[in-house]
């Protein structure tokens, strides 16, 4: 798959929300960015709390910006807090280094990233991974 189409992004979004329903999670926001970091699609379920869209975007953006899933960013923040803080300062606070930001891969080609926010970080990540896998792509959560 050379192109990351809107139809593919919709499949990821729908499957992420389906996983959320299956797990009976709190309302989520799902944000999908292309490899350039440009918004492909985003949606919020009814009842999401304030700032969830920004957090979901920050998880996806951070994964893209650093080239690793946000679980790896979280681990790096534990080990090298000053580094992640410096990078986040350069990024004007746009990175959210906690699980829930997952790279979308087609083989070795980076297509974009999914960011999910609303439940626990582990559950957010599970929904992102389920969405990516439903589109027959590879998820890199870090």
| Cβ neighbours for 71, distance < 8 A, ≥ 6 positions apart | 99, 125, 141, 142
Q: What are phi and psi of 102, to 5 degrees?
A: -130, 130
Rounded (10°) angle between helices 70-79 and 121-134: 150
Q: Residues for the chain: how many in total?
A: 142
Cβ burial 109-126 (10 Å sphere, 16+ → b, else e): ebbbbbbbbbbebebbbb
Q: What is the pLDDT of residue 128?
A: 98
Q: How far apart are the first and last CA of the chain?
A: 22
Q: What is the pLDDT of residue 105?
A: 98
Residues 32-88 have pLDDT tens digits of: 999 999 999 999 999 999 999 999 999 999 999 999 999 999 999 999 999 999 999
Q: Does the pLDDT at position 1 exceed 80?
A: no
- What confidence category does residue 2 fall into, taking pLDDT thresholds of 50, 70 and 90? low
Q: What is the pLDDT of residue 76?
A: 94
pTM listed for this prediction: 0.94
Q: What is the pLDDT of residue 8?
A: 98
Residues 75-120 have pLDDT tens digits of: 999 999 999 999 999 999 899 999 999 999 999 999 999 999 999 9
């Amino acid at each position: 798959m050379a192109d990351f189409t809107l139809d593919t992004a919709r499949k990821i979004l729908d499957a992420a929300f389906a996983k959320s329903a299956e797990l009976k999670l709190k309302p989520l926001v799902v944000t999908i960015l292309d490899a350039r970091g440009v918004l492909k699609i985003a949606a919020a379920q009814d009842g999401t709390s304030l700032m969830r869209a920004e957090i979901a975007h920050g998880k996806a953006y951070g994964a893209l910006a650093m080239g690793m899933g946000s679980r790896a960013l979280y681990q790096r923040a534990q080990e090298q807090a000053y580094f992640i803080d410096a990078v986040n300062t350069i990024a004007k606070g746009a990175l959210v280094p906690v699980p829930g930001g997952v790279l979308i891969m087609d083989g070795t080609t980076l297509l974009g990233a999914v960011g999910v926010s609303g439940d626990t970080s582990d559950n957010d990540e599970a929904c992102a991974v389920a969405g990516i896998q439903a589109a027959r792509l590879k998820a890199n959560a870090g």
